[in-house]
Chain A
Amino acid sequence: MIDWSVIATSLPDFLAGLKVTLLLLVISLSTGLLLSVPLAVARVSSNPLLSKPVWLYTYVIRGTPLLVQLFIIYYGFAQIDLIRNSSAWPLFREAWFCAWLAFSINTTAYTTEIIAGALRATPAGEVEAAKSLGMTTFDLYRRILLPGAFRRALPQYSNEAVGMMHATAIASTVTLVDLTRVARDVYANHLATVEAFGTVAVFYFVLTFSLIGLFRLAERHWLKHLRAQVAAPSTLVAK
């Protein structure tokens, strides 16, 4: 029933698609992580001038579909003369750039909330102890708040990373030839449903569980001190 020759001939295309998917994931996640740390610090700030704009940003981004955000950037921005006439216009005509921008803006919003939640969960005693030792606010964040928050955020962040990996499939709607686009092309060329979508499912499956495995290793390393308590059936929690 399965035509293996179709899979064999299209395997190079799938591997090229895998490369696009992985590259999209890596550049979006790293941009997101970089931006979300300062944003999370602003988000938990007691100064409303800092925290409110970040709240608005995460609320709007998390309240709208990624597909819409991508279309606004890829199709919509062409309508703004300021962008059309600017020197950045060649970038906005590039699907790669738009996908990276949309995905980064999206994952930054989710990651900011994850890190902000982890910052808020810091035990009050840790902050008091640090202050009583005379730490400056900068040192307090660098030595106490952020290292602890990163650890606490890790399990949730692994869900975000997997979610983002799945979301890269949306890039296939703006001409990028990622894994999903390759599957659609293979289907269109050979009318081979099982071969096209079965293969792509295997690729995504392996990718997802490799990613989860990597995060497990990271958790084992950085959450070592909690291992005794992790024995509860927490592995069953979906996103």
Chain B
Amino acid sequence: MLHGYLPAILGGLMTSLQVAACSLAIACVFGLIGAAAKLSSSRAAHAVVDVYTTLIRGIPELALMLMVFYGGQTILNYLVTEAGGDYVEVPAFAAGVLTIGFVFGAYMTETFRGAILAIPKGQMEAATAIGMSRSQVLARVTIPQMIRHAIPGFTNNWLIMIKATALVSIIGLDDMMQRAGLAASATREPLTFYLAVAAIYLLITTVSILLLSRVEKRFSLGVRKAELQ
């Protein structure tokens, strides 16, 4: 199938999935820190997170990725030569993952913040009133409900993010797009390979939607939906 390039493309798929998984982890960490900072009473923390989310919304992912890739290169080499080391190269994987994670961390910040705000305050107060400690309130009341409120936004961010991973080929990462490009020029059949990549992405997004809607159902057990009309 695909003139024998199928294993190569699937190998690229593994890279794409690794990029997506690592970026997602980084985005969630940034998102949780960002949301915590926005909900804290510290004005300095608010300002830092505001600058972060505003910057991300103002600049395209691709431009940011190039900035991190080439800029990181410059800074890293400056530091390394200062320390007496040799020329080093920023790994494309790290640049791609860090950029995508950083960008989607900003979107996750808003998702998580909104999810926490959606929980009625009285529940946390009630939990404190019956003697739960702060960490117990967090683990038993806040987090389980926050997940439910965060899932729609999380799904949306994840779908945009998985599509953004196609961009890492531009900074030279050996992902699915890159492999498809190589196979396309070797066989002179670009349509075949790019359509195959499109089909694989469509499969990933479809599976993601199905899985996450099941997760949402699981976390929404016991919540009645308003019936319209």
Q: Does B152 contact A (CB under 8 A)?
A: no
CA distance A209 to B57 in the complex (A): 9
Q: Does B184 contact A (CB under 8 A)?
A: yes
Q: Mask for B87-123, Cβ within 8 A of A = 1, else 0?
A: 0000000000000000000110011011000000000
Q: Which residue of B lies closest to A162 (CB)?
A: B57
Of the candidates A66, A162, A180, A193, the one whose C-beta lies within 8 Å of that of B74 is A193
Across-interface contacts of B159 in A (CB, < 8 A): 62-63
Q: Determine the main DSSP class of A at the interface with B.
A: helix
B106, A67: Cβ atoms closer than 8 Å: no
Of the candidates B63, B197, B201, the one whose C-beta lies within 8 Å of that of A204 is B63
CA distance A172 to B65 in the complex (A): 14
B binding-site residues for A, Cβ under 8 Å: 53, 55, 57-63, 66-67, 70-71, 73-74, 106-107, 110-111, 113-114, 159-160, 163-167, 169-170, 177, 181, 184, 188-192, 194-195, 197-198, 201-202, 205-206, 229
B60, A167: Cβ atoms closer than 8 Å: yes
Q: Does A68 contact B (CB under 8 A)?
A: yes
A236, B163: Cβ atoms closer than 8 Å: no
Q: Which residue of A lies closest to B67 (CB)?
A: A197
A72, B60: Cβ atoms closer than 8 Å: no
Q: Which residues of chain A from 184 to 238 have a CB within 8 Å of any chain B CB? A: 184, 187, 193-194, 196-197, 200-201, 204-205, 208-209, 236-238
Known: A64-B201, A65-B165, A197-B66. 18 other contacts (CB 8 A): A63-B205, A63-B206, A67-B167, A67-B170, A68-B194, A72-B195, A76-B190, A76-B194, A77-B191, A169-B63, A180-B60, A183-B66, A187-B66, A193-B67, A236-B113, A237-B110, A238-B111, A239-B57
B229, A170: Cβ atoms closer than 8 Å: no
Q: Closest 7 interchain pairs by CB?
A: A76-B191, A166-B60, A65-B166, A205-B58, A75-B190, A79-B191, A197-B67
- The total number of A-B Cβ pairs within 8 Å is 127
Across-interface contacts of A71 in B (CB, < 8 A): 177, 181, 190, 194
Q: Which residue of A lies closest to B196 (CB)?
A: A68
Of the candidates A75, A79, A124, A201, the one whose C-beta lies within 8 Å of that of B59 is A201
Q: Does A78 contact B (CB under 8 A)?
A: yes
Of the candidates B71, B188, B191, B202, the one whose C-beta lies within 8 Å of that of A197 is B71
CA distance A183 to B70 in the complex (A): 11
